[in-house]
Structure 1
Amino acid sequence: MKLRNVLPLLVVTVLVGCKAPAPKMTDDTLVTSQVNGVTLTHRYIVSTPTEFTPVNASYRALYAGSLMSTPDFGGKVLGQLENGKTYTVLGTVEHSWLAIAEEDKPELIGYVPPRALVKSELYAQTLKKDRPRVRRAGSKKTTCVNVDSSSKACQNADSGTWIIN
């Protein structure tokens, strides 16, 4: 009779002591990290920054730059920024890189260098400033001198050579 009572107790004790295996982490598993008092939700493949200064502002992409898994060029490329698309900059991290999220979403999707994005309100001004200036066709000055009474010599403004007419 005592053996009947001891055997089920032994089985229950063994089963209670067993833990379920930890879930397998994949690149797309969502994790939560806390840095400088700020809680960040991100995919497992995106590394947690060591420094974080909150920004929470709307920025636009200046070019189709790489979205990186770490705040440097040594990480994995997770995707590309869409030129002109609006993103939310969650904060700045080490090396002055920007931690970004999709517009109006709180999930950190990766890191980009600071020159890849500009504040949304400065986007049009930045593009206008970056365009090459158009030169006027008649703005080149030609220098001409009289050689004798019937001919003159003019300097080519592009190459600097003199041409006798």
Structure 2
Amino acid sequence: MKTRIALTLLAALTLAGCSTPPPPPPALDINAMISSEVDGVKLQHRAAIKAPQQFKPIGKEYRSLYAASIMSSPGYSGSAVGSLDNATAFYALGEVENNWLAITEAEGGNLMGYIQANAGVPVSRYKSTLRKDLPRRNRATRQDCVKVGGDSKACKDSGSATWILQ
């Protein structure tokens, strides 16, 4: 009888030690929307987008100066989550660390990622920025020429003040 009780107790203890571990916590979906509060501003963004550490609100419409990658964190350490084509309109939610912009597609929309601050300018300054960047042709220098004889002429070179017979 003692043996039977001991074997039953041993079997119960063995089976109790073989229980399955608790299931792992569910993995966070990268497309799940989460909220973050940075410097008193509440930001809605996907789980794949890292919340900034500092935030200075801008809230203006911008236009991209060149094709740029939209990054998951403010810096080159993140991964590219999208891209902006040249001259694409977007809204700058604010300026974050490393001189990057937190951007969204529509005014008051969710944070969709980060781009470099020099990749875009406010819409009001877009055309003037492009005009400054265009190469300008040098104005043709006026030649001082004098007729010499029948078909000949002498022209003064403005750079060296010498006369050249042509």
User: Does TM, scored on the shorter chain, surpass 0.5?
Assistant: yes
Structure 2, unmatched stretches of 5+, are 1-22, 146-154, 159-163
Instruction: Report if aligned partners of 1:86, 1:103 keep a CA contact under 8 Å in 2.
Output: no
Instruction: Report if aligned partners of 1:61, 1:84 keep a CA contact under 8 Å in 2.
Output: yes
Cα separation, 2, equivalents of 1:37 and 1:113? 23
Match of 1:75 in 2: 78
Structure 1, unmatched stretches of 5+, are 1-19, 145-153, 158-162
Cα separation, 2, equivalents of 1:134 and 1:43? 48
What SS class does the counterpart of residue 42 from structure 1 fall into?
strand
Counterpart residue type for residue 35 of structure 2: T
Q: TM-score, normalised by structure 2?
A: 0.69
2:93 matched to 1:90? Answer: yes
Structure of higher CA gyration radius: 2
* CA positional deviation for 1:95: 1.2
2:45 matched to 1:39? Answer: no
Match of 2:11 in 1: none
Instruction: Report if aligned partners of 1:61, 1:82 keep a CA contact under 8 Å in 2.
Output: yes
The number of aligned residues is 144
2:109 matched to 1:106? Answer: yes
Match of 1:66 in 2: 69
% identical equivalent positions: 39
* CA positional deviation for 1:109: 0.5
More strand by share: 2
Counterpart residue type for residue 53 of structure 2: T
Q: TM-score, normalised by structure 1?
A: 0.70
Instruction: Report if aligned partners of 2:59, 2:107 keep a CA contact under 8 Å in 1.
Output: no
Q: Summarize deviations over 1:2-38 as a string: whole Å, max 9, x none.
A: xxxxxxxxxxxxxxxxxx9754312211111111111
Runs of 4 or more off by more than 3 Å in structure 1? 20-23, 140-144
After the TM superposition, which residues 135-154 of structure 1 pair with which residues of structure 2 at under 5 Å, given as runs?
A: 135-136=138-139, 139-140=140-141
Cα separation, 2, equivalents of 1:38 and 1:105? 12
Counterpart residue type for residue 81 of structure 1: L
Counterpart among 123, 128, 131 of residue 128 in structure 1: 131
